Chains A and B, each alone.
Chain A
């Protein structure tokens, strides 16, 4: 296994762990953190492949993804706080009436 395969395997491993975390965990904040883990896995694959291509474009793209992640978390955490204030719980099952 060479380095590219190692890093891409770690990247997909992180993505899978994050996806499963979003599905199986109950706590809303933990689900958010698992989403961050998915994003980290994708960023790792982006860095690996752009480092292989030796271009600065990949680094710029990774920086933009960082900014988007910061904006995402700045909106998502107040939404979670709002939901927690409304139902007095962080359990995702308490919001199953959103199914319609």
Chain B
């Protein structure tokens, strides 16, 4: 049962990603990306990595994609890039995709991977994650807070620049 669910979520993630290439309107692309991310959260939950599954839903779907959906709704719907999906790089891009995907899958198929990723083990609970996070990686925790502060300052600077150009 868990094995079947793992396959289902993995395939759903890939289907969501493929829909992103085909759909026309950015809002539908955003919904396909949200579906793909939720499927990935299901994959993480099936792997027993519940912390990451919760973060995937909370941070990615809850914060990042909601922000993206706001940005899509702010912008004009009658944009020409909404009706013409693909740029002039369509054929070179697809050729590059074929070569890259073949290389990756060939490498994965021939590499001596252990069959260790099993859907029943619970490797990361919240408790060992929190202990490792705040004992061993406290410096990186502080650095991410600095990074977020820098991002906020940069976003404000961009908005100020926009206002300055209009005056």
- Using a CB–CB cutoff of 8 Å, the interface residues on chain A facing chain B are 2-10, 12-21, 23-30, 32-34, 36-37, 40, 43-44, 47-48, 50-52, 54-60, 62-64, 66-75, 77-82, 84-86, 88-93
Residues in chain B near residue A79, CB distance under 8 A: 158
Question: Is there contact, CB below 8 Å, between B20 and A34?
Answer: yes
Given A55-B123, A70-B59, 12 extra CB contacts under 8 A: A3-B115, A4-B114, A17-B17, A21-B20, A27-B79, A30-B29, A44-B40, A51-B124, A66-B59, A67-B147, A68-B147, A84-B76
Question: Is there contact, CB below 8 Å, between A73 and B161?
Answer: no
The interface residues of chain B, by DSSP majority, are classed as helix
The interface residues of chain A, by DSSP majority, are classed as helix
A82 and B156 CA atoms in complex are apart in Å by: 12
Question: Is there contact, CB below 8 Å, between A54 and B123?
Answer: yes
A8 and B167 CA atoms in complex are apart in Å by: 51
17 contacts between A and B (CB under 8 A): A12-B101, A15-B104, A19-B100, A23-B92, A25-B21, A26-B86, A27-B85, A44-B43, A47-B44, A47-B52, A51-B123, A56-B123, A63-B129, A67-B144, A90-B82, A91-B84, A93-B87
Residues in chain B near residue A64, CB distance under 8 A: 137, 140, 144
Question: Is there contact, CB below 8 Å, between B80 and A54?
Answer: no
CB-nearest residue of chain A to B127? A56
CB-nearest residue of chain B to A46? B52
Min distance, Cβ A26 to any Cβ of chain B, angstroms? 4
- Using a CB–CB cutoff of 8 Å, the interface residues on chain B facing chain A are 3, 6-7, 10, 13-14, 17-18, 20-21, 26, 29-30, 33, 36-37, 40, 43-44, 47-49, 51-52, 55-56, 59-60, 63-64, 67-68, 71-72, 74-76, 79-82, 84-90, 92-94, 96-97, 100-101, 104-105, 108-109, 113-119, 121, 123-124, 128-129, 131-133, 136-137, 140, 144, 147-148, 150-152, 154-155, 158-159, 161-162, 165
Question: Is there contact, CB below 8 Å, between B104 and A16?
Answer: yes
Question: Is there contact, CB below 8 Å, between A48 and B47?
Answer: yes
Question: Is there contact, CB below 8 Å, between B6 and A6?
Answer: yes
Question: Is there contact, CB below 8 Å, between A62 and B55?
Answer: yes
Nearest first, the 6 closest Cβ-Cβ pairs linking A and B are A2-B115, A23-B93, A71-B151, A56-B132, A91-B81, A12-B104
